[in-house]
Amino acid sequence: MHPVLKLVVQRLALGLILLLACSAVIFLGVEALPGDTAQAILGQSATPQALANLREKMGLDQPPLTRYFQWLGGVLTGDLGTALTNGADIATSIGQRLGNTLFLAACAAAISVPLAIILGLIAARHAGKWQDKLISGITLTTISLPEFVAGYFVIFLLTQDNWLTQGIGWLTGGSGRLLPVAMVFPGMGFWERVNAIILPVIVLVLVVLAHMMRMTRAAILNVMQSAYIETAELKGLSPMTVIWRHAFPNAIAPVVSVVMLNLAYLVVGVVVVEVVFGYNALGQYLVDHVTKRDLPVVQAVGLIFAAVYIGLNMLADVIGILANPRLRHPK
Amino acid sequence: MNDKHNQLDWLISRVRKGAMSRREFLGRSTALGVSAGLAGALFGKVALAQEAKKGGTIKVGMQGGESTNSLDPALAASEVPFQVNMTWGEMLVDVHPDGTIDYRIAEEISSSPDAMEWKFKIRKGVEYHDGSTVTAEDVVATLKRHTDEKSQSGALGIVQGIADMKAEGDMVTLKLSSASADLPYLMADYHLIIQPGGGVDAPAAGIGAGPYKVVVNEPGVRHTFQKHANYFDSSIGHADEVEILVINDNTARTAALQSGQVHMINRVDPKIVELLKGVPGVSIKAVAGRGHYVFIMHCDKAPFDNNDMRMALKYAINRQEMVDKILGGLGSRGNDFPINAAYPLFDDTIEQRDYDAAKAKEYYDKAGHDGSPIILRTAPGAFPGAVDAANLFAASANAAGIPLQVKLEPDDGYWSNVWNVEPFCASYWGGRPVQDQMYSTAYLSTADWNDTKFKNAKFDELLLAARGELDAEKRKGEYSEMAHILRDEGGLILPMFNDFVSGVSDTIGGWVDDPNGELMNGRSQVKCWLA
């Protein structure tokens, strides 16, 4: 077997074991939450009789271990069960929400990743000069804003009647004001969806930009200390060519791992942004079900999030290996 | 003078569009020097002339929806499911804003003189969305389903008192196990939506006899509806389509109203009401209702098992400060019993209790408490502003020498671990259409939700007597006596009644202030139109 293939298979197997461990931890964590589903559903209106009825109906009277293995068996056969709270099929509900989550993450990534890398390259090229300071200053400012503050800022700037939206309206010939609530529905066209999520995409780009940009800059500056870069410079190559052709390929591994971390964040960590813009994706769905102690849903979404996280990190590892000739051709 | 004329013209044009309520018109026109009598007459004349416009899509942005919601009316517990069910569903009766019965599927109601047997005549030719006709059997099947413990219905406590129900032709007869003069009001409970076959086979199908059909049902996201062409009542249901968007975030909801993405929003944050008033194209509707915020003590646990201690705490809370600071002035002071002027048969002569540090101290000393801290538990989700309110309470109590201490609890698990468990905590009630229902739900000794553990034989006796009393004056007297008992002996500290505060776009016509519930008791999207 080719050593790279072997390495990849190894990583995959490790990932699966990790996922199984995650499922157990998720189950334990959910069990440890105070109160149970029946109580959370009935809330202020709980009576002992209603509680007992509901528990029996939901199978909450079974021991936890039995419920864990029943659930795991279901997951392996693609059956996530039905939500305890409203009886909806979990796989169907998650399918649509997951699509929305991935769409938002993909749009934010499509803008932020190239932008961060280009800005990182420019900052490295002009390290220590005003360009570098300007880029670092702006991106560090945006990352320092909590997401909801950034969200309210964009809502204020782009959805209300003010000089900015009037200016945009004058340029584009429309009202220039965007809609604050970014809901997407089945049946909406692709561009309609893109139009609906402009605001959350802007916020997410602002939030993830700095991390990736700083890592690109640091990794390249690190490589720039090497002797072969000096050789390239002495050969008379232009600074941008040196960075792009010689320094960047050797800086890919750390950049990719940071990019993947940010992608994972875009998928699993944006619940605050979802709430601020009323975007109907997986994070809000998870929070709703946590508060109602809807264990099957919480477990299913938790598992999906864990899988995304583990998967993206694995991908970063593999790309890192492939990008590194020394790892690609081990002696 | 001329300027005043212009302003009056403007006010009249607003009324014509249906964008101004009677109360608002009277207030603003009398401020211009028009006499109250003339203003009232003027309003009546103009308001009659306003005509509902048909067509368009009314969009409502709401807080209080979760992705866990269901269309099963039995399970409705938060604001969005309530509003959604009021769009597609129809009950036997509803309650008019003035407190009288609004006959819906039932067109006539009569009772035996002892209020033990009630007859509901079912309106002919009312059609469900699937084309079938509403029958007396459906009504009985619906009520039966809610009686079944397995349905987990929020109306279980209401229908439990029905001993026997029978459908004959177009007549439904209900025999009660004990007399109730308020039965028609109980049938207006929002869970009791009439469903085909009682909704036994498909409780969450969303098929009803209401003005709109369900098109899209995405819980926690949005609900869309289309006009039910054969709806029996042409006086409501003006828009072609209705959309309810779930926008739980306050800022996003407000921004959606301001930018015109929605026409109406519920739960406007009292803190921003003043700011929103200055925004063109939007008006704020603060409607006095029956909902109230409370601090509840368990009458059976120390130190609250001592009535002197309870009285000390009742005198140690500054009600006006709560109304001003927690509700932004949009509410009224409570008097430690859960009834206010929005209820029929309310006795407005009961003396208002206010902050009195000296009296509080006196009662506290009489209680002989050992001086250890008295713990009040609260959480941000107990009611909006519950943490601030608890801190204000502690400050005013400390000033009276009572060692009240606030303990902050997490929202998560509050209703299962703190409320009804801990002896002293913050909570809220939404109110009920009639006094009997409010008292039976939470203050009768045997009530399931007796969250103050209040047990008083005299009180129970009066409640049962008033329930079967058809003489309004006698009944009012009984309710007044009960209010006194609860106020002076109960475990309820009720500092404030909160208004329903909604934001409505000027493009909406037909708004009427309705004390029965938020957004015109769940019917704003059905009763209003796009002007």
A45 vs B contacts (CB less than 8 Å): 77, 154, 449
User: CA–CA distance from B114 to each of B101, B106, B111, B181, B357 (Å)?
Assistant: 20, 21, 8, 9, 48
The DSSP secondary structure of A10-37, one letter per residue, reads: HHHHHHHHHHHHHHHHHHHHHHHSSS-H
Of residues A35, A49, A289, nearest to B68 (C-beta) = A289
pLDDT digits 0-9 by tens, B348-371? 999 999 999 999 999 999 999 998
Q: According to the model, what pLDDT value does residue B252 have?
A: 87
Residue B380 phi, psi (nearest 5): -55, -30
CA-to-CA distance for B399 and B402, rounded, in angstroms? 7
B203 is written with which tokens?
């409780």
pLDDT digits 0-9 by tens, B73-113? 998 888 999 999 999 999 999 999 988 899 999 999 999 99
Q: Averaged over A239-261, what is the pLDDT?
A: 88
CB of A233 within 8 Å of any CB in chain B?
no
pLDDT digits 0-9 by tens, B104-114? 999 999 999 98
Question: Chain A window 28-67: which residues touch B at a Cβ cutoff of 8 Å?
Answer: 33-36, 39-47, 49-50, 53-54, 57
* Contacting residues for A331 by C-beta, under 8 A, at least 6 apart: none
Nearest C-alpha in B relative to A94: B67
Q: According to the model, what pLDDT value does residue B460 have?
A: 95
CB of A155 within 8 Å of any CB in chain B?
yes
Q: For the packed helices A198-224 and A130-144, what is the interaxial angle rounded to 10 degrees?
A: 130
Q: Verify whether the Cβ–Cβ distance B218 to A280 is below 8 Å.
A: yes
Of residues A36, A46, A177, nearest to B259 (C-beta) = A177
Mean pLDDT of chain B: 90
Residue B178: DSSP 8-state: S
Contact (CB, 8 A) for B126 and B233? no
Q: How far is B380 from chain A (nearest CA, A)?
A: 14
Contact (CB, 8 A) for B162 and B177? yes
Of residues B247, B248, B255, nearest to A159 (C-beta) = B255
Q: Verify whether the Cβ–Cβ distance B417 to A34 is below 8 Å.
A: yes
A33 vs B contacts (CB less than 8 Å): 412-413
B248 vs A contacts (CB less than 8 Å): 275, 278
Q: Verify whether the Cβ–Cβ distance B259 to A294 is below 8 Å.
A: no
Q: According to the model, what pLDDT value does residue A45 have?
A: 58
Residue scoring higher pLDDT (B379 or A31): B379
Say which range, A135-139, B6-10, B352-356, has the weakest mean pLDDT.
B6-10
CA-to-CA distance for B110 and A102, rounded, in angstroms? 59
Cβ-count burial of A109 within 10 angstroms (0-12 exposed, 13-18 middle, 19+ buried)?
A: buried
Cα-based torsion angle of the residue sequence B503, B506, B512, B515 in order, rounded to the nearest 10 degrees: 10
Q: According to the model, what pLDDT value does residue B90 have?
A: 97
**pLDDT tier for residue A182 given thresholds of 50, 70 and 90:** confident
**pLDDT tier for residue B25 given thresholds of 50, 70 and 90:** low
- Indicate whether A284 pLDDT > 90: no
CA-to-CA distance for A244 and A209, rounded, in angstroms? 20
- Indicate whether B382 pLDDT > 50: yes
Q: Averaged over B270-274, what is the pLDDT?
A: 85
B285: enclosing H helix or E strand: strand B282-287
- Indicate whether B49 pLDDT > 70: no
CA-to-CA distance for A71 and A59, rounded, in angstroms? 12
Mean pLDDT of chain A: 86
Residue A259 phi, psi (nearest 5): -60, -45
Q: Averaged over B308-328, what is the pLDDT?
A: 95
Q: Averaged over B55-62, what is the pLDDT?
A: 96
Q: How far is A118 from chain B (nearest CA, A)?
A: 33
Q: For the packed helices B22-31 and B36-49, what is the interaxial angle rounded to 10 degrees?
A: 130
Nearest C-alpha in A relative to B260: A179
pTM above 0.90, yes or no: no
B150 vs A contacts (CB less than 8 Å): 53, 57
Please count the CA atoms within 13 angstroms of the CA of A184 that sit on its side-chain side. Answer: 27
Of A182, A18, A251, nearest to B256 (Cα)? A182
% chain B with pLDDT above 70: 91
% chain B with pLDDT above 90: 68
Sign of CA dihedral B103, B106, B112, B116: negative
Q: Verify whether the Cβ–Cβ distance A288 to B68 is below 8 Å.
A: yes
B488 is written with which tokens?
């002076």
CA-to-CA distance for A303 and A94, rounded, in angstroms? 12
Q: How far is B153 from chain A (nearest CA, A)?
A: 9
**pLDDT tier for residue B10 given thresholds of 50, 70 and 90:** low
Number of helices (H), then strands (E), belonging to chain B: the values are 19, 21
**pLDDT tier for residue A103 given thresholds of 50, 70 and 90:** very high
Question: Chain B window 54-73: which residues touch A at a Cβ cutoff of 8 Å?
Answer: 61, 66-70
pLDDT digits 0-9 by tens, B146-186? 998 777 888 887 888 899 999 999 999 999 998 898 899 99
Question: Chain A window 89-128: which residues touch B at a Cβ cutoff of 8 Å?
Answer: 93
- Indicate whether B41 pLDDT > 70: no
**pLDDT tier for residue B1 given thresholds of 50, 70 and 90:** very low
Please count the residue pairs, one from chain A and one from chain B, whose beta carbons lie less than 8 angstroms apart: 124
Residue scoring higher pLDDT (A269 or B232): B232
Q: According to the model, what pLDDT value does residue B163 have?
A: 93
* Contacting residues for B229 by C-beta, under 8 A, at least 6 apart: none
**pLDDT tier for residue B283 given thresholds of 50, 70 and 90:** very high
- Indicate whether A299 pLDDT > 90: no
CA-to-CA distance for A54 and A36, rounded, in angstroms? 11
- Indicate whether A331 pLDDT > 90: no
CA-to-CA distance for B248 and A271, rounded, in angstroms? 13
Q: How many CB atoms lie within 10 A of CB B530?
A: 20
Q: How far is B65 from chain A (nearest CA, A)?
A: 9
- Tokens 């019917």 sit on residue: B523
Q: Averaged over B460-468, what is the pLDDT?
A: 92
% chain A with pLDDT above 70: 95
Q: Edge-to-edge strand order for the sheet containing B331-333?
A: B331-333, B492-498, B292-297, B424-429, B374-378, B404-408
Q: According to the model, what pLDDT value does residue B485 have?
A: 97
CB of B379 within 8 Å of any CB in chain A?
no
Q: Verify whether the Cβ–Cβ distance A180 to B412 is below 8 Å.
A: no
Please count the CA atoms within 13 angstroms of the CA of A252 that sit on its side-chain side. Answer: 15
In degrees, rounded to 5, the angle at the alpha carbon of residue A230 between the alpha carbons of residues A224 and A233 is 105
Residue B474 phi, psi (nearest 5): -60, -40
User: In b/e form, how buried is each residue of A40-67, taking b as 16+ CB within 10 angstroms?
Assistant: bbbbbbbbeebbebbbeebebeeeeeeb
Q: How far is B206 from chain A (nearest CA, A)?
A: 13
